[in-house]
A and B are shown apart, each in its own frame.
Chain A
Amino acid sequence: MSEATVADTRRLNSKPQDLTDAYGPPSNFLEIDVYDPQTIGVGRNRFTTYEVRMRESVVRRRYSDFEWLKNELERDSKIVVPPLPGKALKRQLPFRGDEGIFEESFIEERRAGLEQFINRIAGHPLAQNERCLHMFLQDESIDRNYIPGKVRQ
């Protein structure tokens, strides 16, 4: 009868990692910055735009563009879409003591919220193929009459 043997716990063999893979930029490096808020227009027709910057492209978007993207994704994709920063309707009422929606602190708060929103969506595997997302991030302007669908890579 043999003694109880010690189990073999040596690591399984694996391919050594390629050095360019080990030290190159990671493929998951997708960081989107929502940058540089600019208020355009005068008086009642003012609105704020934000720069949406990726590694290779820069576009300008306003809050309603983000709302459009959220609606498209909620309708077409299977993901649970994260929340947008608030619409701040109260801030759009007259007779406020401050600048309302053009108040600096509010714009900064909104900028941070939009940045979090777009990063969470772009990092989701099931949203990455949506045409609306590609258009939002890369096209000069959003064509609201586009044909919804998936992008084949």
Chain B
Amino acid sequence: MHLFLRNMSFFGFGQTAEIDIVLNDAETRKKVEHKTEDGKKDKYFLFYDGETVSGKVNVTLKTPGKRLEHYGIKIEFVGQIELYYDRGNHHEFVSLVKDLARPGELSQSQTFDFEFTHVEKPYESYTGQNVKLRYFLRATISRRLNDISKEMDIVVQTLCTYPEINSSIKMEVGIEDCLHIEFEYNKSKYHLRDVIVGKIYFLLVRIKIKHMEIDIIKRETTGTGPSVYHENDTIAKYEIMDGAPVRGESIPIRLFLAGYEMTPTMRDINKKFSVRYYLNLVLIDEEERRYFKQQEITLWRKGDIVRRSMSQQATIAAQRYEGSNPEPTSAQAKEETD
């Protein structure tokens, strides 16, 4: 008696396949570490805005000899924002599709080429406490009952150059008849490997101060209107003074940012979330009372300037000459602009 349905794959006796996505420049493209949602760190290929994403999709049939029926094979490039409290809704701000195969069947394993040319990647990849912004490639084989798909995440960084205007922050604050200070930070915009240079000048000290510190606070804001949510995280605490100051004393600040894990300032990304940074100056008196002043700073990402060594340049020149690298044009274009 014939017990099986016409479509064998319903009982798992049909053909299935494995998908693999490989980038064309996998050998030369830089990888960076990026935190995943559960706090682990993984390495992903790094892309910048405007760069082309090209590669191959390898479809490997699991059972030799059997055909794979499908309703189409495609690859997508997606940039999306995911709010943790609203998982069902992904907000896609980039969505590109390339069809790789029309509906039909595969009789053997096959490789498909794809290229997303000069893709716009307007925002930086971000994994936060309540929101995630990610970019990925997704290859899908559509079938009647269940699709086969594979995703490959990439990381995007947004670069800036030195801001034209970068004024210092200087302010006088205090409590009347108690404590007057003037604080100064040398800039308002700092890059991620910059140094905060500043000073605290005491104009009036009528309380007994025990010590003073500077904290860096990261504030992630999600949601809009009435349901705005702020998540504050103290990234750094740095003591700048131990002991009691008197009038006229000036305390220097020198805080190196490269040692802390921070992202660039992100303002109202796709109207969904923001990530902002604040310097919090805290004074603590002998009774553990805390006096503080918070000030926002803007963080930006400076591009690496890669100076290729002589041997590296020689290798590239040799490859070009011998023709062993079949696609020297894109690599050449990158070097020339350095």
Contacts and interface: CB of A to CB of B under 8 A. Distances in A.
Contacts of B246: 21-22, 24, 26-27
A27 B206 contact: yes
Interface in A73-126: 120, 123-125
Given A4-B305, A12-B198, A128-B177, A26 B250 contact: no
B249 interface: yes
Given A17-B249, A21-B248, 5 more contacts: A1-B305, A12-B197, A15-B201, A125-B175, A129-B177
A28 interface: yes
A145 interface: no
Contact of A14 (B194, B195, B250): B250
Interface in B194-237: 194-195, 197-199, 201, 204-209
A17 B199 CA distance: 14
A7 interface: yes
B158 interface: no
Contacts of B307: 1, 3
A8 interface: yes
A127 B215 CA distance: 28
A11 B175 contact: no
B76 interface: no
B197 A123 contact: no
Contacts of A64: none
B207 A125 contact: yes
A151 to B, nearest CB: 10
A123 B199 contact: no
B199 A14 contact: yes
B199 A27 contact: no
A14 B207 contact: no
Interface stretch (B132-140, B282-290, B313-321): B282-290
A153 interface: yes
Contacts of A125: 175, 178-179, 207, 289
Contacts of B207: 28, 123, 125
Nearest to B199: A12
Interface string B170-196: 000001011100001010000000110
A55 interface: no
A153 B254 contact: no
Contact of B250 (A17, A123, A128): A17
A123 B248 contact: no
A28 B178 CA distance: 9
A124 B287 contact: yes
Given A21-B246, A22-B246, A128 B199 contact: no
B256 to A, nearest CB: 8
Using C-beta atoms within 8 Å of the partner chain, give the interface range for chain A.
20 to 34
A24 B249 CA distance: 13
Interface string A11-35: 1101101100110101110100000
A141 to B, nearest CB: 27
A21 B247 contact: yes
A1 B194 CA distance: 20
Contacts of A27: 204-206, 246-247
A9 interface: yes
A10 interface: yes
A153 to B, nearest CB: 5
B252 interface: yes
Which of A9, A10, A153 has the most C-beta atoms of chain B within 10 angstroms of its own C-beta?
A9
By Cβ-Cβ distance, the 8 closest A-B pairs, closest first, are A17-B248, A14-B250, A21-B248, A125-B178, A21-B247, A7-B195, A12-B199, A11-B252
A30 B186 CA distance: 35
B86 interface: no
B244 interface: yes
B201 A14 contact: yes
Contacts of A18: 247-248
B248 A120 contact: no
27 contacts: A1-B305, A3-B305, A3-B307, A4-B305, A8-B197, A11-B197, A11-B199, A11-B254, A12-B184, A12-B199, A14-B250, A15-B201, A15-B250, A17-B250, A18-B247, A21-B248, A27-B205, A27-B206, A27-B247, A28-B207, A28-B244, A30-B206, A123-B207, A125-B175, A125-B179, A129-B177, A153-B177
